[in-house]
Amino acid sequence: MFEQEQLIREIVTTNEVVEILGVSKQTIYNYVKLGKLKLVYDDWQIDGTMKFFIEEVNKLKQFTEKPEGLTVLEAANQFGVSKATIHQYIKSGKIDSKKINFKGRMTVFIPTEEVEKLNRSFQNITTKKSYFTKDLEYLLFGLYFKTDSNEKARIIELSETGELVAKTNMGELLSKAELVECGFVKAYELKQTKHSTKRGNIIFKFPIPQSISAPIFGIIDAFYQHIGVQNMNLFIEKHSIKVEIKPVKIPYRSEQIEQDFEILNNCLIDGKLSSRPGYIVFTSKQEQLTTFVEDIVKTEIKKIATEYHTGIEYITEKLIKIGLAEFKKNKELKL
C-alpha cells in the first residue's frame, strides 16, 4: 500500500523544496528536526538527499510565506537607521509589531500601517538633523568666499527647507539669495565617498565660536573635505556643536597640526587620537575580539539579545563587561 502511495503522490528532493519555500537547506533540516516536514524515507542517506511529499511541502509553504509589512532589518535599511533604533521604537511603544514563525524561526514583523508611522517619524527626525542641503551645495558652518576679494562667509543657520543665514567676516548676515547675489561660492568641494563599515565613532563636542575664522570651524572644514557627510554627523546642542565621525586618517599641514590636535583632544568625548607626520589619526575605542563558545552559550546569548530587542554583538559586549566587573569585585575566577 505504501509503495502504491509513493507512486501516486509526487515526491520532491531537498533542492526542490529549497526552491519552493525559498529557504536554505539548513532551514529544511531544521524543519525535519522539529517535525514540521516528514521524510518519505527515514534512511534518506542511501539516496543522498532527503525526499518529501509535495503536498506536505505546499502545506508548510502557507505558514512560511512572508506577511505584509517589514522585518526589523528591512525597516532599518529602508529608513537608513540601525536595527537597534527600530527595536527601540518597538520597545517604547511608538510602533506595534508582532512575532511570526517565518522561515523556521520567530521573526519580528512591523505591519504596513506601522511602517507608515515610522515613515512619518523618520521624516521629522531627518529634517531636524539636517546639516546640509540635498544638492550638497550648502553645509552648516561650511566656508564660502568671493573670488574677487578676501571676503568670506559661513553658514551659521540651516533649516530643513534649505533656508539659511550666513555670516561674513565683516559681521554682516545674509540670506541664501543674498549670499548668491553677492557672489559667494563654496571654498572647497565636499568629499564624496562610500559609507564606512569601520566600527565605532569618534565624538567631539565643540563650543560654538563667535568668529567665522575660528580654528574650530577650520576643523569642521577638514571633516567636510576629508570625511564627507556619509561618514559624519553634526548636531547643535545648546551652545555646542556635537560631531561624530567614523575612524579615519586626515592629512594636515605641519604648521597647523599642533594647534588642531590640541583643540581636538580638549573637545574629545569618545574615541582616540594620534598623530603621524602630516596626519591626524582618528580611531574608535572598539576592538575586535574573536572567541569560540559552546553552542548552548551562543543560544543563551541570542535569547537575551531577542528579549532586549538588540543585536548579539551588543549583548555579548555587555555580558563581558558584567563579567569583568564581577571579577574585579571578587578577584576570583571560577573555572
CA 298 – CA 312 distance, rounded (Å) = 9
What is the per-residue pLDDT for 81?
60
At residue 184, what are phi and psi to the nearest 5 degrees? -75, 140
Query: What's the pLDDT band for 129 if we cut at 50, 70, 90?
Result: very low
CA 265 – CA 263 distance, rounded (Å) = 5
Give the contacts of 265 (CB within 8 A, at least 6 positions apart).
273
Digit-coded pLDDT (tens) for 70-84:
888 888 777 766 566
CA dihedral 273, 276, 281, 287 (to 10 degrees): -80
Digit-coded pLDDT (tens) for 89-118:
787 777 888 887 666 567 888 888 888 877
What is the per-residue pLDDT for 127?
38
The answer to whether 247 and 198 are in contact (CB under 8 A) is yes
Q: How many CB atoms are located within 10 Å of the residue 100 CB?
A: 17
In the structure grid, which three cell numbers stand for residue 301, read together? 546569548
Digit-coded pLDDT (tens) for 189-226:
999 888 888 888 899 999 999 899 999 999 999 999 99
CA 84 – CA 22 distance, rounded (Å) = 27
Residue whose entry in the numeric block shows the C-alpha cell 599641514: 253
CA 170 – CA 332 distance, rounded (Å) = 66
Query: What's the pLDDT band for 17 if we cut at 50, 70, 90?
Result: confident
The enclosing H or E element of 110 equals strand 105-110
The string of DSSP codes covering 162-184 is: S-EEEEETTS-EE-HHHHHHTTE
CA 217 – CA 144 distance, rounded (Å) = 12
Query: What's the pLDDT band for 227 if we cut at 50, 70, 90?
Result: very high
CA 9 – CA 1 distance, rounded (Å) = 12
Higher-pLDDT residue of 73 and 282 is: 282
244 Cα distance to chain centroid: 13
Residue 226 corresponds to which amino acid?
Answer: H
Residue 131 corresponds to which amino acid?
Answer: Y
The answer to whether 45 and 29 are in contact (CB under 8 A) is no
- pTM for this prediction: 0.54
